Structure 1
Amino acid sequence: MTGRWLVIGVLLALATGCGEASSAPERRTPEDPAALPTEVPGAEGLVRSTEPVVVSDDGSGPMLCFGGISFGDPPSCSGAPVTGWDWSAVGDVSEDGGQRWGSYVLTGTFDGTTFAVEEVSQPDPEPDEWDFEILCPTPDGGWQVEDPARSTQDDLGAAMNTASGLPGFASGAVSTPDGEPGPDDPAQTVFSLYVVGDPAAAEAAIREVWGGMLCVTEVERTDDDFEQMQGEVIEAEVPGMSQVGGNLDNQLEIVVFHDDSSIQRWADQVYGEGVVVVESNLQPVG
Structure 2
Amino acid sequence: MRHFGWIVAAPVAALLLAACGEEEAPVSASPSDPPASADPGQAYTGFFTVLENAEHGPQLCSVVAESFPPQCGGPDVLGWNWDEAPNVTSESGVTWGYYAVTGTWDGTALTLTEPPLDGAATSPVVPDGTVPDFTSPCEPPAGGWAVVDAATATQAAQDAALAHAAEQPDYAGAWIDQSINPASGQETPDEGAMNDPTQLVLNVRFTGDLERHEAELRAIWGGALCVSAAEHTEQELLEIQEEVLAELGDQASGGGTDVTTGTIVVDVIVDDGLQERLDEQYGEGLIRVSAALRPVGS
Which TM bucket (shorter chain)? 0.7 to 0.9
Is the contact made by 1:159 and 1:210 (CA closer than 8 Å) also made in structure 2?
yes
Match of 1:162 among 156, 161, 164: 164
- The 2-side partners of 1:65 and 1:230 are apart by 22
SS of structure 1 residue aligned to 2:143: coil
1:140 is matched by which residue type in structure 2? A
Q: Which residue of 1 aligns with 2:190?
A: none
Distance 2:222 2:27 in 1: 52
Aligned to 1:63: 59
Task: Provide closer, same or farther for how the CA distance between residues 160 and 110 of structure 1 changes in structure 2, counting only shifts above 3 A.
Answer: farther
Partner of 1:256: 268
Counterparts of 1:104-253 in structure 2, within 5 Å, are: 104-112=98-106, 113-116=109-112, 117-123=114-120, 127=125, 131-178=133-180, 183-247=194-258, 248-253=260-265
Distance 1:234 1:4, change over 3 A: farther
Show the counterpart of 1:85. 81
CA distance in 1, matches of 2:219, 2:39: 53
For structure 2, the 5+ residue unaligned runs are: 9-13, 186-192
The answer to whether structure 1 residue 279 and structure 2 residue 290 are counterparts is yes
5+ residue gaps, structure 1, are 13-21
Distance change (3 Å), C-alpha of 1:130 and 1:81: closer
Paired with 2:249 and 2:21, the residues of 1 have a C-alpha distance of 19
How has the CA–CA distance of structure 1 residues 64 and 245 changed in structure 2, closer, same or farther, with 3 Å as cutoff?
closer
Aligned CA distance change for structure 1 residues 259 and 238 (closer, same or farther; 3 Å) = farther
Distance of 2:39 and 2:51 partners within structure 1: 21
CA separation of 1:144/1:201 partners in 2, compared to 1, >3 Å: closer, same or farther?
same
Q: CA deviation at 1:238?
A: 4.5
In the alignment, the residues of structure 2 paired with residue 162 and residue 43 of structure 1 have an alpha-carbon distance, to the nearest angstrom, of: 54
Kindly indicate whether the alpha-carbon contact (under 8 Å) linking 2:5 and 2:176 is maintained by their aligned counterparts in 1: yes
**Structure 1 residue 79: deviation in Å?**
1.3
Cα distance, 1:203–1:31 mapped onto 2, change above 3 Å: closer
> 1:207-263, CA deviations, whole angstroms, 9 ceiling, x for partnerless residues?
122100000111111110111112112211354423323212111111222213x11
Say if 1:242 and 1:32 are closer, same or farther in 2 by CA, change over 3 A. closer
Cα deviations by residue, 1:14-71 (Å, 9 ceiling, x for unpaired): xxxxxxxx996346362523653459x778644432xx4232212553122337x666
Contact 2:27 2:280 in 1 (8 A): no
Runs of 4+ in 1 over 4 A off after TM superposition: 41-46, 69-74, 124-130, 177-182
Aligned to 1:7: 7
The two structures have a TM-score, normalised by structure 1, of: 0.79
Task: State the aligned residue count.
Answer: 269
Structure 1 residue 163, shift from structure 2 partner: 2.1
Contact 2:52 2:58 in 1 (8 A): yes
Task: Render the CA deviation track for 1:51-105: whole Å, top value 9, x for unaligned.
Answer: x4232212553122337x6664442423123324325733152422x23233x23
Percent of aligned positions that are identical: 26
Change (3 A) 1:88 1:265: closer
Q: Letter of the aligned partner of 1:148 in structure 2?
A: A
- Aligned-pair CA distance for 1:178: 4.8
